[in-house]
Amino acid sequence: MSLIRQMMWVIVVVSMLAPAAMAQQQPSQPSQPPRKTLKEVLLPDTVRYFRIILDVSGGLSGALRPIDQRIPVNEIHRKGGLDGTLSIRATANDLISVGVQTGFITLSQSTFRDSITRVGTRVTAVYPAMNTALYAIPVLVQADIQKWNFHLSAGFGMYYLLSSTQLTSEALPQYRDDAPTINGGWEMGYSVGLGYLFYLSPNLTLGPQAEWHYIPDEPKSIFLAQLKCSYTIRF
């Protein structure tokens, strides 16, 4: 029995040492580095999360009247209107993104009544009734900084100001237009904005946003209260 037991121990030891001996006899194969993906080739090691962010915003807007501006004697109503903006930005980190913004902003819509000033029987001033409107189309370079759920934006570029005027006098037929008169021109300006984001999914956010646009040459100060929806495309 002792002989059989010794033979069994020899078989176990040989079976354990044989794979190691065979591995030492075989030449070692050099390890192949893993193949890089297209993103790793195009982007450096510090950039791994390139994203495109699409923003669609809409709400109410209006031009703030300067403190020293007097109300015309025949103005009876002034209001703001609706606005909508679209921006596309690119980012390679979780903090700063840069892109462009455009849209359509209502600055003001005013209604004027007929007003005639007389001294005795002599007419000294005529203010005909009319409807006026002023709109802006921004084309801005925009940068956005996001931290936690807050985001702060700043933009700089050009605004196409579009004005519409239509005389609607009932008392003075000579001051009546069949169609509004449209005029436009480019002006330089800038904007700042602040908002808060609610994440509906990892790529979709929704939240309130306030923007202030300023055109120095006019000057025009425009305030926007918006609801902003953002979608992120990841690469």
103 within a domain of the structure (yes/no):
yes
205-227: pLDDT as tens digits: 999 999 999 998 877 889 999 99
Is residue 44 in a domain?
A: no
Structural domain includes residue 17: no
Question: Does residue 111 belong to any structural domain of this protein?
Answer: yes
Instruction: List the structure tokens of 228.
Output: 């902003």
Domain region containing 221 = 50-234
CATH code of the domain containing 134: 2.40.160.20
- Whether 135 maps to a domain, the answer reads yes
Residues whose CB falls within 8 Å of the CB of residue 108, separated by 6 or more in sequence, listed in order: 62, 63, 78, 79, 80, 81, 132, 133, 134
In a domain, 114, yes or no: yes
Number of domains composing the chain: 1
Task: Decide if 226 is inside a domain.
Answer: yes
Q: What is the pLDDT of residue 67?
A: 45
Percent of the chain with pLDDT over 70: 69
CA separation for the pair 155, 152 (Å, rounded): 11
In this predicted model, what pLDDT tens digit does every residue of 64-104 receive, in sequence order? 766 445 556 556 667 788 999 999 999 988 789 999 999 99
Closest CA to 233 of 101, 56, 96, 54: 54
CB atoms near residue 191 (< 10 Å): 22
Residue 216, domain member (yes or no): yes
